[in-house]
Structures are given as C-alpha cells and as structure tokens.
Amino acid sequence: MKKLKDQFNLIVNADHWDPFAVLGPHPQKSASKESLIIRAFLPDAEEASVIPPDQPGLSIMNMKRIHPEGIFEAEFKDAKEVFPYMIEIKTRGGETRAFHDPYSFPAILTDFDLHLFNEGTHFEIYEKFGAHTKIINGVKGVSFAVWAPNAGSICVTGDFNNWDGRRHPMRGRGVSGVWELFIPGITTGEKYKFRVKSKRGDYIEHKADPYAFYFEERPRSASIVHNINRYKWNDDEWISERTKKNWLDTPISTYEVHLGSWRRHTEENNRFLTYRELAASLIPYVKDMGYTHIELLPVMEHPLDESWGYQVIGYFAPTSRFGTPEDFMYFVDQCHLNGIGVILDWVPAHFPKDPHGLASFDGTSLYEHEDPRKREQMDWGTLIFNYGRNEVSNFLISNALFWLKKYHIDGLRVDAVASMIYLDYSRGPGEWIPNIYGGNENLEAIAFIKRFNEVVHQYNPGVLTIAEESTAWPMVSKPTYVGGLGFSLKWDLGWMHDILSYIVKDPLFRKFHHNELTFRILYAFTENFVLVLSHDEVVHGKGSMLDKMSGDLWQRFANLRLLYGLMYGQPGKKLLFMGGEIGQWREWAVSQSLDWHLLQYEPHKKLQRYIKDMNQLYKNETALYEADFDHRGFEWIDFRDWEHSIISFIRRGKNRDDLLVLIFNFTPVPHSGYRLGVPENGFYREIINSDSDIYWGSNMGNSGGLQAEKKNCHGMPYSVNLVIPPLSVIILKPQHS
C-alpha cells in the first residue's frame, strides 16, 4: 500500500510519467475473486460516482476519496472485464457534471508511428502529433501528442480544466520520448498548452504546441484546437497543371509581400487586412500588374510583429493576425483560381527564445544544440536547430510537406541558408566547432537540406524550392544526385549587391565601376538564379529603391526604370518587393501601409505602368525566360563601352530565331547615331523604351523601330543606327516575315 500511496503523491504533484498505471480502470485478479477498480483524480470534486453502462450486474457506484487532494476510487466486485463508463462529480460549489474518463481509453499512436518518428521518416507526423478531434470507442474528443523525451511529466492544460497543471497528465510512450492523451468531451476552439515539468523538477513551463494548427492572436500565446480538413478546395485544375510544369523554362515574376503592411485600414485604427480582404484586394492587384507569383514573408505564427515573421513559434499555423486557417486557404485558393502561384518564406534556420516556444522545450536543449558554440545564432538572438537529431529533422521536413499538402503552396523560399551550412557563420575564432574533417561546413545541416529537397520534389512535382544563399557555395540549385543541394532556384544576392552598389553612384563616375555592371554574366549560368530586389534592401537605413537613386527627380525615376529594365532583361527569374513598383520614397515600415497615395502623382503612376508593361512583355517574349539557365540564351553585343556606360546584349529562346536586342544607357547623356551590331537583317521594332513619355520619360527614341543595314559592327554582319535616350533601356525585336 505504501508503494501505491507514493504513486498517488506523484499524481497529485503532476510527477507521474505514466498516469494510466494509477488512474482509470484496473482489473484485479486473485485466486478467490475478480474485480475492477476505477480511480480518478478529481481535485475539484466534493463527491464522485461511476456510471456504468446499463447492463445486468452493474449499477452506479459512489467513489471513495482515498487521497486528500482528490483521488477517488470505486471497486466493482465480480466484474470480469473493463467496461465503458462515465464519472459524475459534484463540485464544492454545488455543480454536477458527468464526463467520460480520459484514462479509460487506449493508446493513440501505434508503435509503428513512434518508430518512424524516431527514425526521422514520418513525413505526415502532423496527422498524429498536436491536437486532433477524434471519435474513439464512439466517444468524441481531442487527442494530444507531443515529443519531450527528457520531461518528467507533461499535462494538458486549458480552459476545460481551468489551466490546472495536474488535471490531465499525459502518458509517456517509453523510450520514444512521446507523450499522448485523449480527452473526451472537448472539441475545436479549445485553448490549450502543455505544462512541461523536467525530471529533476527544476523546470516547469507552459509550452505552446509545436504542431498546433491555430493560435490565439498575440500577445496571447495559447494553442487552439482546430480541424483544418474542412475547407473545400476549388483549384484542382491548377494543381494538376502544376505537376506537369517545368518552371525553369517558364516565366516567374514574383511580387514579394508582407501581408501586414501591404495595405492597412487606416480609418479603423490602422488594423490589418484579413486574409479574405487581401484576397479581394491584393490578388486582383497582382493579377492586373502581370505577376506570376506572390511570395509571402513568413505567415507562420510568430509573437513579434517586428520580426517580420522570421522568428516562428507556430510552424504549422498561419498567423491568426489575419484570420483563421480556412481564411488563409481561401486566399491561396483564390490566387490559384486567378492564375497566381503562392510561395512562402520558410524558416528552418533558427527559432526564437520565447519561453512558450521550442526553446528548452523539455527543460533541456531538445530542438536546439546544447553546446553554445553551435546553439545560438548571434546576429538574431535566436537558437539553431539540431539537424542531426532525427526527430528535429522529421519536424522540419514534415512541416515543409504540410504547407504544400494542406495549404496547396506552390513553393518554399528557404531563409538564411548560408547560416545553416557554415559552422562559423558570424562567429569569430574559438566561437565555433569544426566538423569531423576539420572544416567549417555543417555536415548535418547540409544532409538535412538535401533530404528536404529530395522529399519535397518526390512528393510534390511542380513545386519550387528556393534558396536564399549569400555565398559562393557550389551547386545550390543542382540535383543532389550530382552533388548539389537540390534547390530549384537560388536568389542571386551577388547581383543585387553589385547592381545596387553601381546604380547608386553618380552617373559621372559609373564608367570607373563598369565591372559591377558586367561581372554577373561570368557566373550567371552556374546556378538557376532569381534576380531579386527584396525587402532586405529597403530597411535598416538603406533607403527605398527610389531614394537610393542619384540625381534630380526626373533622373531618380529614370534610373529606377533602368534598374528594373536590367532585372527583367538579364537571364534569371524575377522578384520585386512591394512598394518598389510605385516608387515608395520612404523605407518599408512593418507597422504601416505602403504609401498608396503616391499614385495620384504622375511619375509614380507611370512607374507602376512601366512595371505592369514589363511583366507583360516578359511573359509574352519567350526569349526573356525560356533559356534563363543556358548560356546559349544570352550573347553579349558589347560590354566594353565603359566610357559611355552602355551595355548591349541578345536574349534568345529555345528557338534561336526567337531573339531580342537589349540596350542600356547608364548615363543621362543621350546618343544619336549610335551604331550597334545585330545578328540578322530586317526591321527591328522598338517594343519597349523606358524613356517613353508614357513612363514619364523624355520621349526620345527610334520612332517605333528601324531598319538594319549591311554594315559590320561588333563582330556581326548587320547593324542599326540608334538613338539611345538618357538613362534608358531599349528592347528591339526583329520582325520576321
């Protein structure tokens, strides 16, 4: 009896790792009799009784208090087997209620589930972990499961038990490190957390569910039981077509968006637009502007607005700032119905230290590294995932697959890849540990990235994975079977750095930095690049895109059109951060709307039209996208005219007769009679001129086009005699009969 009393004390102190060993039904067998003992921990009960099913030999039995903190027991003599029952209690306040006993239900997860998870190959573990509405033995309720191998005990807390950390202790599933419990009688909408207590008892924390599908809106932090399988999708045709598409030879022009600051209801206390309001306003805008994709800064649940979403707490939950999971599904669905792909920024590189999050989840370094030389990302004050742990890798890969399957996402842009693959990223001597070969490569992170890409592409043909990788790591966007990391695309951050360094200079001095303009082509075909002008370049004192430009007002807009023209003209897919298309003057601010009022002014309105026209031109001209990653799709005409800061080149499609001639003038000096070599005879139509007055230019040009002459120039048999406007891009297309 002393041993049993010790177990009772463990129960009332929330220290028992297997409460089912004490609570619930327990058959008793001896040589002389059989009986069934039912125990329950009911700290708020004055009286309690067991209500058995209506069958002969069974009747309602009062329970006896056997521990002063509220453990009750009833014995059914001569009961030969466990039967379903309910418990009825009368509280000290006089309330009477009846409920099914959570400790009368069987285990939820199978041994095979646990094996696959511990092995790191349970790619739909989100269907098992977290909170799920279920019917078990005919009873409705919610199953909970969480991984915390070093916890001494875990209890589910919520409104349903007055957040009492003793009421619903979970069952530990042995060496798997998994804890589970089915709580009957609760349903969707219930707020909950896991009360985690370490084995030594020196750590107690209420943790949000790592696999939760929905959260309270910040600053509150409880997880919410939610069934995400109720939405009826309408995008079957889009998904079917996506699986057949090769995006590498398809136009990709992406509008990068932060949902919380694209537009706000300033007249309603500056509130956010909801997912459904964004569907009604953002999607038509993106479609009208001609973009093919929207890329969203992280929408996963995060506590701090100022992190822009990059410090994630709820990896499986779209943020409740803008609505429910179904509302976000509706947003994605509407994108697809309007022919727009959706890319999410995904953050497997690090996570925040918030006490209710993943940090020290079971009182130990569980998701993160223990060693401080591998544990913390110093630049951001966050923690680094331990990719070598199977269960952590499983958590992340299943999360990637979750967004693709449950939310029909078309691509994942992986944030901060460089910080993952280098052990010495932002660390000085003595602050990092070399790998087993003495190098600075994070072998576990590299293996994780390769596995992530393999699994994503295996299960989701037509889906993109995109790396934000800022170093010269080789073959980032090449398949793993040839030694690459396996991404579909890679952001060209080198180009972004070089071209912005160049374009901010006074045109008078650009000729001395001509290499910044031309250097990219030396490496342009080593990766599947995306040319980006992203959110990172319009914050932290860097100025907006327009504000970076030099010169007077006219020259600033001309320079910006020229910069955008170069992005659309060079090989690679395209990305522009919101606000860049309207000539935002101030830096991006996460707490306020873009300055849409600027569109009442002519230069801003015409810049917006320029981006719209460039998107349409880009999608219409196969020469601008079909051979982005093949050197045969690009040919210099002249990159040597540094004295005038003029460059010119040819873009070709897969059919080499499908070509365009592009000329860029990076000074405010116009040129008449500028002879340029072209590859064939005929009439060259001027299909874009950034200096047109419809774009707020000076309206210089070539009267719609010009005839080639049989005069050798730039090593070509024909040439044209051009007028090149100041600070302009001109695109010519030969007219084939």
Q: Is 371 a catalytic residue?
A: no
| Closest C-alpha to 126, from 136, 139, 116 | 116
Quick one: CA dihedral 183, 187, 188, 191, positive or negative? negative
Q: Do 652 and 661 touch, CB atoms closer than 8 A?
A: no
Q: How far is CA 588 from the centre of its chain?
A: 20
Q: What are phi and psi of 661, to 5 degrees?
A: -110, 125
Neighbours of 707 (CB within 10 A): 11
- Choosing from 190, 256, 333, 415, the catalytic residue is 415
- Reading the block at residue 292, the tokens are 């093919």
Given a contact cutoff of 8 angstroms between Cβ atoms, the answer to whether 345 and 298 are in contact is yes
Of residues 728, 730, 686, 726, the one with CA closest to residue 707: 686
Burial class (CB in 10 A: 0-12, 13-18, 19+), 602: exposed
| 256 belongs to the catalytic site | no
Please name every residue paired with 154 in a beta bridge, in sequence order, or none if there are none: 196
Single out the residue of 240, 106, 108 nearest to residue 180, CA to CA.
Answer: 108
Query: What's the Cα-to-Cα distance from 22 to each of 12, 27, 38, 73, 88, rounded to whole Å?
Result: 11, 12, 9, 10, 19
Provide the 8-state DSSP code for 89: E
Q: What strands lie across the sheet with 96-100, from one edge to the other?
A: 61-62, 45-51, 86-91, 96-100
Catalytic residue among 113, 468, 626, 691: 468
CB proximity list for 292: less than 8 A, separation 6 or greater: 251, 252, 253, 254, 339, 340, 341, 619
C-alpha angle 98-103-108 in degrees, rounded to nearest 5: 120
DSSP of 571-595: SSEEEEETTTTTT--SPP-TTS---
- Which residues belong to the active site? 415, 468
